[in-house]
């Protein structure tokens, strides 16, 4: 009678399964690392401002205008005046490409009982939760009246840095 030899089964299949699981774990960890490293840039548009071609940010500008309007229209006793819009063009120094976006000017008449700095600060707080930033806020005049001027911008990646594009210049004044 012939003698049977026992071989261990499955030792090669276990190695392949372990290798697949390790590679899967590395891929998941890499994805988590990549997502975490981009978390600080979530409010910055990545429109590829690195080449010679033109980049159009007009639609993003209009979204910013709508967001500012929605915030300001929540105040029933403030008077909003849109003083016009125009396309802006800027040539990128590093690449020669051109960026086009839309900029407008708003005048916000607030009641005399509302402080101008307080009104601007209120809008700045509301904007902080969006993809826009307040670049500048200072005392100014609007049609001869005391005012506070605020510049609101969107940011876009430009090469290794970022650039800010002013979409709204807002003047707060006392509406008499």
Q: Residue 91: which domain range?
A: 55-174
CA distances from 114 to 67, 88, 128 (A): 22, 33, 21
Q: C-alpha angle with apex 139: 134 to 143, nearest 5 degrees? A: 110
Token pair of 92, please? 């990128």
- One domain, residues 98 and 134: yes
- One domain, residues 34 and 62: no
- One domain, residues 115 and 170: yes
- Around 121, how many Cα atoms within 13 Å sit in the side-chain half-sphere? 5
Residue 6 included in any domain: no
| Per-residue pLDDT in tens (0 to 9) along the chain, 176 residues | 555 555 555 556 678 878 777 776 676 666 665 555 544 444 444 455 555 567 889 999 999 999 999 999 999 899 999 999 999 988 877 667 788 999 999 999 999 999 999 999 999 999 987 889 999 999 999 999 999 999 999 988 766 678 899 999 999 999 87
- How many domains is the chain built from? 2
Q: Which helix (H) or strand (E) holds 66?
A: helix 58-72
């Amino acid at each position: 009678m012939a003698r049977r030899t026992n071989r261990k089964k499955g030792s090669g299949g276990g190695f392949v399964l372990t290798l697949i699981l390790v590679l899967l774990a590395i891929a998941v960890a890499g994805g988590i690392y990549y997502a975490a490293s981009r978390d600080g840039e979530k409010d910055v548009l990545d429109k590829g401002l690195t080449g010679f071609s033109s980049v159009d940010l007009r639609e993003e500008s209009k979204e910013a205008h709508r967001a500012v309007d929605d915030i300001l229209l929540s105040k029933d006793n403030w008077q909003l005046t849109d003083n016009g819009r125009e396309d802006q063009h800027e040539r990128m120094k590093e690449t020669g490409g051109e960026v086009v976006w839309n900029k407008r000017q708003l005048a916000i008449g607030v009641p005399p009982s509302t402080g101008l700095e307080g009104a601007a600060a209120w809008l700045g707080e509301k904007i902080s939760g969006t993809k826009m930033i307040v670049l500048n806020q200072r005392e100014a005049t609007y049609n001869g009246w005391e005012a506070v001027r605020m510049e609101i911008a969107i940011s876009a990646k430009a090469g290794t840095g970022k650039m800010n594009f002013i979409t709204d210049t807002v003047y707060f004044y006392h509406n008499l």
